[in-house]
Amino acid sequence: METLMDILGTIPFEDVPVCPVCLSDNTTELITDVERDRPSQAWKVCLNCEHTYVSPRPTEEFLASFYTEGYRRMVYHLKEKETKEVMPVGSVNEERGRAMRLATLIMGIRPKVASHLDVGSSTGALCAGIIDFLRPAHSWGVEPNDAWRGFSETAFAKRDPKFKLYEDDVRFVAKLSGVPKTPKFELITVIHTLEHMANPRGTLLELKKRLKLNGLLVVEVPNRYGGTPNPLMWPHLHCFTEFTLDRLLAECGFFPILHESFGNFPPFFPPPQTILAVAVLKPPEISLVNVLMRYNQYRAVIGDLQKRVAQARPSYDIG
């Protein structure tokens, strides 16, 4: 029987001399129970900031090729088909649910945004959800996988004309370098992407250049201590806690203003599977007026959502 290692072949590795979050070299090995049928991963933990990461890790050249060709197809042993026309059913359901959840959460903070950048845009479902709920005129998605990026373009071309009223400019590119640094974005989302990056610190510093001064950065990653799937699974290169995610954001000049966690499953409700942080570029002002305005705005959003749920129909066909 063909194994994942047979599919992946020989993987070149490289050492990571310092912690990717705080740049400390005070680290030690972390003994884990990573599955034996996955590529060998030597996990380390930073004794300065507690961040957990892979070292040695696959080279950036290997990772670029791996994600271009379709890592999900490889991870699931080629059992699921992915093309520009068809996406795996499991991925479809996951993407749609996540897009609705995140779009409604962001609405509670800011009911409308002028522009949106999604890094790791996958099927384009989050871009569609943000457009439907927050009405950005300009939306960009960064997705290295050729099939997923092509599917996003195809799906947007087929969208209902009544939703196209909100879309002046929607584009998908393979690399962040393909996104211009001006004009800057009011909303940037990085959802279940940062844990796959060889250099998450460098990515956030690049995103900082593309975020408006009053903009929002939304990051979601697996929780090191939660969920039923193993957060140290291949091909994750990092595993965050709320503390280490905040430390990384602070190292890159961001100020977290909100935390959420998701993914508790009944009937036993294990620790949350994911953690989310919303961050800004300058320390938020705290006042009674702002608190009351946020409360009233959030309740208004909830009331609007209750009406929408009663009339909800899928607006983005990703399957």
Could you tell me which residue, 266 or 196, shows the higher pLDDT? 196
Q: Strand pairing partners for 183?
A: none
* Domain spans, the chain: 4-75, 89-310
What are 173's two structure tokens? Answer: 């590119």
Residue, of 49 and 312, whose pLDDT is higher: 49
Q: What pLDDT does residue 284 have?
A: 76
**Residue with more model confidence, 146 or 36:** 146
- Residue 185 above 90 pLDDT? yes
Task: Give, as one character, the DSSP assignment of residue 223.
Answer: B
For the beta sheet containing 185-191, the strands, ordered from the edge strand earlier in sequence to the opposite edge, are: 169-173, 138-142, 115-119, 185-191, 211-222, 274-280, 255-262
Preceding omega of 235 cis (within 30 degrees of 0): yes
Which residue matches tokens 């300065």? 48
Which of 129 and 89 is assigned the larger pLDDT? Answer: 129
What pLDDT is attached to residue 20?
96
Question: Same CATH fold, 89-310 and 4-75?
Answer: no
Q: How far apart are CA 55 and CA 25, in angstroms?
A: 12
**Residue 3 confidence (pLDDT) above 70:** no
Strands 52-54 and 57-58: unpaired
Predicted confidence (pLDDT) per residue in 59-75, tens digit: 999 888 888 876 666 65
Say how far residue 277 (Cα) sits from the centre of its chain.
11
Tokens 């959030």 belong to 298
Residue 226's pLDDT band, with cuts at 50, 70 and 90, is confident
Q: Are 241 and 275 in contact (CB under 8 A)?
A: yes
Structural class in CATH, domain 4-75 = mainly beta
249-307 pLDDT tens trace: 999 999 999 898 887 666 666 788 899 999 999 887 777 777 777 777 777 777 877 77
| Domain spanning 89-310, CATH class | alpha beta
Burial of 186 (0-12, 13-18, 19+ CB in 10 A): buried
Helix axes 125-134, 89-107, angle to 10 degrees: 30
List pLDDT tens digits, range 97-132. 888 899 989 988 888 999 999 999 988 999 999 998
Higher-confidence residue: 235 or 173? 173
Q: What is the pLDDT of residue 53?
A: 95
The pLDDT, as a whole number, for residue 246 is 96
Rounded to the nearest integer, the mean pLDDT of the chain is 84
pLDDT at 77: 45
